[in-house]
A and B are shown apart, each in its own frame.
Chain A
Amino acid sequence: MARIIVVTSGKGGVGKTTTSAAIAMGLAKKGHKTAVIDFDVGLRNLDLIMGCERRVVYDFVNVINGEATLNQALIRDKNCNQLYILPASQTRDKDALSQEGVGKILDELKKEFKYIVCDSPAGIEKGAHLAMYYADDAFIVTNPEVSSVRDSDRMLGILSSKSRRAELNEEPIKEYLLLSRYSPDRVKLGEMLSVEDVQDILSLHLLGVIPESKSVLNASNSGMPVILDEKSDAGQAYADIVDRYLGEDRPHRFIDEDKGFFRKLFGGK
């Protein structure tokens, strides 16, 4: 049975697209046929993060309008043949996506794919609403920072009242917390909300902590999802997250500062 995962946050710039790219790649590399869809109509960016921006011919809106078939629009990933990308359109028409059209495409994808990852745009307008409407699972990407936590809570309210599952009185969407851009050092200094603080406020199941990491920018610079950088802390954090989501037992990492004796002594990075 296919699962639809929405990656959402409310606030912009917290790492939704980075996360969507990483977990979609992670699931595909585990052998699950996965599609990742960019719902940010007008501001397409997932293609850049996945490194397939020059291979976009047709997009999400073309498929909805019947100008292309789903198979024509899906781009097979260059690093993993189990992964396909459906890019967003660059149209400025805000109403290009319809609930019905999105539902039809998702139904079609569900026949072929095990996981469908929906990369939500920021905000709580139509694109964000459609990205989460059909979801089975929600990954709430949150930064340990007041506005992000507040917006995540707003998003939780919307997930529990405005989704298809809520409207049909079905089992609610499973919600998971992904705490990103985390700096254990700053938490220790009392300068940043801790994992426990954020969990206390949002009461969400923690799927993983992604540390603030240089590797994320390096990955997006080169159009390679950060999970492929297996040596990097963020890459490993996302790999853990995928494993945990698939039901494997992985102890949480990157929550405490992890400095060697000499680095501690000299205060190096």
Chain B
Amino acid sequence: MSLLDYFKISKESTASLAKERLQILVAHERSSRNQPSYLPQMQKELLEVIRKYINVGQDAISVSFEQDEDQETLELNIVLPDLQPKNT
């Protein structure tokens, strides 16, 4: 390391930027890799059913799938708008 290098360190290094980007990306890709292949289709159909009754947006529903040693968890999260029944 030469004297010049000491001036460069104050700026955030591109290596740490690379690491941060990769950690986020790899975590995301791993979670989608392990999820069952029916998940996207199921999410779509669930949304259709819910929208029959409640007026929610496309992104109001989130489905996540987690796998532990001995159990699989399917988490379904629907954000409801301020309650106003469609028409009865």
Interface positions of A (Cβ within 8 A of B):
145-146, 149-150, 153-154, 157, 187-194, 197, 200-202, 257, 264, 267
Residue of B nearest to A149 (CB): B22
Q: 4 other contacts beyond A146-B22, A153-B26, with CB at 8 A cut-off?
A: A150-B26, A190-B8, A190-B9, A193-B22
Contacts of B33 in A (CB 8 A): 157
Known: A190-B15, A194-B15. A201 touches B2 (CB 8 A): no
Cβ B25 vs Cβ A188 within 8 A: no
Separation in Å of the B77 CB from the closest CB of chain A? 26
Cβ A197 vs Cβ B19 within 8 A: yes
Interface positions of B (Cβ within 8 A of A):
1-2, 5, 8-9, 13-16, 18-19, 21-23, 25-26, 29-30, 33
Contacts of A154 in B (CB 8 A): 29
Known: A146-B21, A150-B22, A200-B19. A191 touches B29 (CB 8 A): no
Known: A146-B18, A201-B23. A189 touches B30 (CB 8 A): no
Cβ B26 vs Cβ A191 within 8 A: no
A32 to B56, CA, bound (A): 66
Separation in Å of the A201 CB from the closest CB of chain B? 5
Contacts of A145 in B (CB 8 A): 18
Contacts of B22 in A (CB 8 A): 146, 149-150, 193, 201
Cβ A153 vs Cβ B5 within 8 A: no
Cβ B30 vs Cβ A157 within 8 A: yes
Cβ A200 vs Cβ B23 within 8 A: yes
Contact partner, A190, options B14, B21, B23, B29, Cβ 8 Å: B14
Residue of B nearest to A257 (CB): B1
A189 to B21, CA, bound (A): 19
Cβ A153 vs Cβ B19 within 8 A: no
Contact partner, B15, options A191, A257, A267, Cβ 8 Å: A191
Residue of A nearest to B21 (CB): A146
Separation in Å of the B18 CB from the closest CB of chain A? 5
